Amino acid sequence: MTETYSKSRQRAEIAFGNVQTQFFAKNQAAEELESDAQSQQAKTLRLREARLAREHSSRVSATSALIAKRARAR
């Protein structure tokens, strides 16, 4: 059953619909920004962990090479 509304009610419904659409669009944009920030933080953490692991591996290999060189020199 469709109801017919007055012109002012129709304009109010349309205006409310527009405001509601803008509200949901802002919420969606905010969620996208939050998602982007979280993915950036996760990537930064992954890269930091990889860098630290690489640096640790490099230090361990340099230390073992130095120890082996000293052992040969004796």
- Position 58 pLDDT exceeds 90: yes
Q: Which tens digit of pLDDT belongs to each residue from 1-31?
A: 457 889 999 999 999 999 999 888 999 999 9
And the tokens for 24? Answer: 């949901």
Per-residue b/e over 2-19, b at no fewer than 16 CB within 10 Å?
A: eeeeeeeeeeeeeeeeee
| Dihedral pair phi/psi, residue 3, rounded to 5° | -105, 145
> Closest by alpha carbon to 63, among 71, 73, 51?
71
- The whole-model pTM stands at 0.58
Tokens of 16: 């409310």
pLDDT score recorded for residue 1:
46
CA geometry: angle 42, 44, 50, nearest 5 deg: 105
